[in-house]
Amino acid sequence: MSLTTSPVSSRTIRIGSRKSQLALVQTHWVQAQLQKAFPDRTFEVHTMSTQGDKILDVALAKIGDKGLFTKELEVGMLNQDIDFAVHSLKDLPTRLPEGLMLGCITDRENPADALVVHEKHKGKQLDTLPEGAVIGTSSLRRLAQLRHHFPHFAFKDVRGNVITRLAKLDAGEYDGLILAVAGLERLDLGDRVDQVIPAEISLHAVGQGALGIECRSDDAEILTILKALQHQPTADRCYAERAFLRELEGGCQVPIGVNTVLKGDALTLTGIVVSVDGQKVVKGEVSGAAADAEALGIQLAHQLVEKGAKEILDEISAAVR
């Protein structure tokens, strides 16, 4: 599809968002950036609650992950109630419904995981927390990698938005939480980060730190508008990560971690698959041209399958059914 002309329509652009504080901060940032780029246009934010927002008493992995935080927004786009939706890219499934596409990927914030500790542990990091420390996370990826490195911790599921989770930590329900650095920084809570967890301990989620804007694939006007926010270096890294996850047929709630480094036109992608108990680890790395990002992701997936990744993922899938 050729998208060379500037949009001239006067239609009001309706932006879809989840209702959580972080989702709204991210969506209002997108709204502000587009308003700067297109001052003559009107951009409205419309909020919706997703299944993942409503079910807070069940571990994410047991609910099912396909579209957990995106389906209602996608229905809104297909019904033309909204024109596009702003997602944390890590929440966006790698296979999108027919008629929808990833319109752009924004400049990435720090994609690493963060440790936030209770005030009684201030100054401590993962390797100095006491044996039996209760660590809260809702992510199988974080859980599996941390169990591998710190089997002496007690891990406890934690649900709710970032503010709710921090309140539970401060109330003493946990000794520490694992959250995304990017989410904390976007909420102006970067001062709560006690440790940016290195990649040697926890590879981050696919797409973590970037925003993915999903839209109808036949809406040339919206696709042209969204080009203003496309950050190609981030997109190259995330296309590689998403292809890796898609090829492994993994969803958001599986213990698959990644790390991508882009130097010039050279992209290096590292991936890991870990059993939930942290005992089995399969890891690999590929490098190549950023222009071949998706092919590199597929190549890495095949490499890990040869090392036994499929068996780990099949075991996990059977256990959470």
| Residues annotated as catalytic (active site), given as ranges | 91
The H or E element containing residue 281 is strand 281-289
- State how far the Cα of 127 lies from the Cα of 314, in Å rounded to an integer: 31
In the chain, count of helices (H) and strands (E)? 11, 13
Contact 18, 211 (CB under 8 A): no
Burial class (CB in 10 A: 0-12, 13-18, 19+), 60: buried
Contact 152, 132 (CB under 8 A): yes
Closest CA to 180 of 109, 93, 285, 85: 109
Which two structure tokens, joined as six digits, stand for 317?
């899938």
- Write out the E strands in 89-185: 100-105, 113-117, 134-136, 154-156, 176-180
- State how far the Cα of 27 lies from the Cα of 291, in Å rounded to an integer: 29
- State how far the Cα of 302 lies from the Cα of 19, in Å rounded to an integer: 38
- State how far the Cα of 258 lies from the Cα of 245, in Å rounded to an integer: 9
**Cα-flanking dihedrals φ and ψ of residue 244, to 5°?**
-60, -50
